[in-house]
Amino acid sequence: MAYRNTVEAIGRLTRDPELRYTQTGKPVCNFSVALNSTWRDEKGAKHEDTEFVRIVAWGATAEAVAENMTKGRLVFVEGKLKLRSWTKDVKAKSGEVIQVPMESAEVHAVNVQFLDRAPEKATRQAAGTQKQVPTATEQTEEEQPRQEQQAAESTPEDEGF
């Protein structure tokens, strides 16, 4: 029997992504996504439900999410479900400290696709300074000639035709 651990979700970011680096310098980005669902019961009444899912992205994906995404943006996330468990010290009413088992589920993203466009000239607050987040259609003056030159130099063989 084959087993598969794959999660696919489309939702909106509930907060700005948090980018940090491991001790070895590997980028890791944490964010959460709201997943909305609607359904009708047997009487025809409409119901809505929202699930909040924590997402962890690594490497270049982590940096791309942190650079381009903000709260409210729509994303498609594909990844693997990871369950974590640990114990937490809790002070009981009697004053003694007891260990309580805790569990958490999160999705470790292997693919993140941005499904909507960034607001025009969107700005983000990062480390106390304003940072311009370019839209997908904006290019710097240096990128424009370089991309035009690359397009002129490419042949159908270069593109796999």
Q: What is the pLDDT of residues 14-51, one digit of tens each?
A: 999 999 999 999 999 999 999 999 999 999 999 999 99
Strands 27-40 and 7-13: antiparallel
Q: Please answer whether residues 114 and 75 qualify as being in contact, where contact means their C-beta atoms are separated by less than 8 angstroms.
A: yes
Strands (E), the chain: 7-13, 18-21, 27-40, 46-58, 74-91, 97-114, 122-126, 129-133
Fold of 7-90+98-116: OB fold (Dihydrolipoamide Acetyltransferase, E2P) (2.40.50)
Sign of CA dihedral 140, 27, 83, 97: negative
Two tokens at 47?
């119901």
The mean pLDDT value for 69-98 works out to 92
- Model confidence pTM above 0.75: no
How is the chain split into domains, by residue range? 7-90+98-116
